[in-house]
């Protein structure tokens, strides 16, 4: 991935040394046990991990934007009359993809993810990967999309970062609880 972004060979070699040759030691009852070599290289809490993740995530963004521009996937519109659609959101270690629930777009999205895995060296955990469908999606299309992606449907979306993942038409009711809680937090902060 770094090669595709134009990083020099020297820089890539130095970064890869950090990834390949990391070892850990740990304390147990004040005694250090050491030199545990992880089987899969870089871990999520390594200091360089966020930078490498951002580099890889940008590669995934490029792949998805290319397919969106080519008309192979269609994102979702934020509001009527909005100038563009959203095809994906990346936040910390979470990714959200938006596309029509049809076999063609599900196939393109799976191809995007397979390409990302190959180029980045990262593996996608499809056990944690879930899909949320719009209410007007047919059961047949839901099954086709889940099957093509190799994922399951999330039945109760719930909240993400204390915000509802599914809003529907009652936006004021959906965000009222959040607004009340944020006001309470602000008052606590002011004290």
pLDDT at 44: 59
Residue 102: CB atoms within 10 Å: 15
Summarize pLDDT for 36-50 with one digit per residue, the tens.
666 555 665 677 777
pTM summary value:
0.66
Return the closest-CA partner of residue 85 out of 108, 101, 68.
68
The ranges assigned to domains in the chain are 42-155
Question: 130, 153 in Cβ contact below 8 A?
Answer: yes
Summarize pLDDT for 138-183 with one digit per residue, the tens.
999 999 999 999 998 877 666 665 565 666 666 566 556 656 666 6
Alpha helices in 48-138 (DSSP H): 49-69, 103-120
pLDDT at 111: 93
Which residues, 6+ apart, have CB-to-CB distance to 147 below 8 Å? none
């Amino acid at each position: 991935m770094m090669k595709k972004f134009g990083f020099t060979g020297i820089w890539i070699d130095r970064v890869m040394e950090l990834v390949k040759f990391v070892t850990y030691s740990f304390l147990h009852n004040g005694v250090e046990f050491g030199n545990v070599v992880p089987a899969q290289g870089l871990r999520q809490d390594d200091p360089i991990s966020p930078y490498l993740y951002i580099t890889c995530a940008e590669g995934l963004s490029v792949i998805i934007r290319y397919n969106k521009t080519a008309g192979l996937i269609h994102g979702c519109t934020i509001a009527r009359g909005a100038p563009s659609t959203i095809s994906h959101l990346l936040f910390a270690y979470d990714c959200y993809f938006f596309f029509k629930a049809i076999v063609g777009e599900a196939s393109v999205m799976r191809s995007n993810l397979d390409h990302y895995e190959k180029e980045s060296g990262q593996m996608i955990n499809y056990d944690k990967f879930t899909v949320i469908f719009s209410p007007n999606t047919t059961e047949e299309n839901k099954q086709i999309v889940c099957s093509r992606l190799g994922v399951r449907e999330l039945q109760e979306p719930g909240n993400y970062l204390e915000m509802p993942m599914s809003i529907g038409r009652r936006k004021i009711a959906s965000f009222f609880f959040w607004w009340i809680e944020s006001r309470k937090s602000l008052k606590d902060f002011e004290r």
